Amino acid sequence: MIQAHKLAAFGQLSTGVAHEINNPLAIINEEAGWLQDLLAKEESRDFTYCGEFTESLRTIIKQTHRCGDITGKLLRFAENMDSYIREVDLNELLDEVVGILEKDAALRSIVIERDFDTDLSRMHSDSAQLRQLALNLVNNALDAVERDGKVVVGTRSKGADWVVITVKDDGYGISTDHLHRVFEPFFTTKPPGKGAGLGLSICYGIATKLGGVITVDSAVAKGATFTVTLPLRAPGQEMIG
């Protein structure tokens, strides 16, 4: 689970960095090309260092292309890592996730209830990402309950094209001033070593990527409900090879 967390965080980070670096890289390439054009002009012929300059610019351009290869690889890596759109049985997937966590929960007298809509249509989505999303939400719910309580994982359909996943707990809840910050990367109220504050930002990223939205409803000591609304068909990621 930690590994999956790290990979997802790394994917997001590398995509961000690759995009950020690509822009200045394109400008460096552009400007170096422009200088090459200037040096190739008639008026530049008698410039003493013309040869050295031209040679140097060639190296600069070659190296920017090398950087471009690296950022391209990073982007493709992140892409491959998280866009496998297949048919998914959401109830079965959530049942598995609950199955993984419920033994540990039972040791803390926490019951995880399944409240599944058995008529749910099959989705076309990314099961690995959905699993990650559910794991993060249920883990947070278990943390919030601490012991003696209940977590309910539910599904239902919404209209003809959407499904809704809810993860509801009766734990310590979220204060109003924290409520709008919980999806921020690195926001955590947990002690060091317990929480990295990445879980919900990853959930947010996944929900968005799969064409959906994630919202939260909570108050202090009133528990929390996370609601993820997703399209039955995740948008245009049918895989490019």
Ligand X SMILES: Nc1ncnc2c1ncn2[C@@H]1O[C@H](COP(=O)(O)OP(=O)(O)O)[C@@H](O)[C@H]1O
List of residues contacting ligand X (CB under 6 A): 136, 140-141, 144, 169, 171-174, 182, 187-190, 195-201, 224
The smaller minimum CB distance to ligand X, of residues 158 and 222, is found at 222
Choose the one of Mg ion, ligand X, none that binds residue 164, judging by a C-beta under 5 to 8 angstroms depending on kind.
Answer: none
User: How far out from the chain centre does Cα 190 lie?
Assistant: 21
Choose the one of ligand X, Mg ion, none that binds residue 170, judging by a C-beta under 5 to 8 angstroms depending on kind.
Answer: none
- Helix, strand or coil, per DSSP, at residue 168: strand
Q: Say if CB 86 and CB 61 are below 8 A apart.
A: no
**Least distance between Mg ion and beta carbon 7 (Å):** 16
The smaller minimum CB distance to Mg ion, of residues 83 and 139, is found at 139
| Window contacting Mg ion (CB under 5 A); options: 76-84, 99-107, 132-140, 169-177 | 132-140
DSSP string, 58-107: HHHHHHHHHHHHHHHHHHHHHHHHT---EEE-HHHHHHHHHHHHHHHHHH
Choose the one of Mg ion, ligand X, none that binds residue 189, judging by a C-beta under 5 to 8 angstroms depending on kind.
Answer: ligand X
> Dihedral sign, CA of 165, 100, 12, 240?
negative
Among 71, 91, 127, 140, binds Mg ion (CB under 5 A): 140
The yes or no reply on residue 205 touching Mg ion (CB under 5 A) is no
**Least distance between Mg ion and beta carbon 184 (Å):** 12
Burial class (CB in 10 A: 0-12, 13-18, 19+), 220: exposed
Choose the one of ligand X, Mg ion, none that binds residue 197, judging by a C-beta under 5 to 8 angstroms depending on kind.
Answer: ligand X
Tokens representing 6? 């790290």
* Half-sphere exposure at residue 204, Cβ-oriented, CA atoms within 13 angstroms: 16
**Least distance between Mg ion and beta carbon 136 (Å):** 6
- Helix, strand or coil, per DSSP, at residue 6: helix
The smaller minimum CB distance to ligand X, of residues 195 and 231, is found at 195
The smaller minimum CB distance to ligand X, of residues 131 and 232, is found at 131
Binding residues for Mg ion, rule: CB under 5 A, are 140, 199
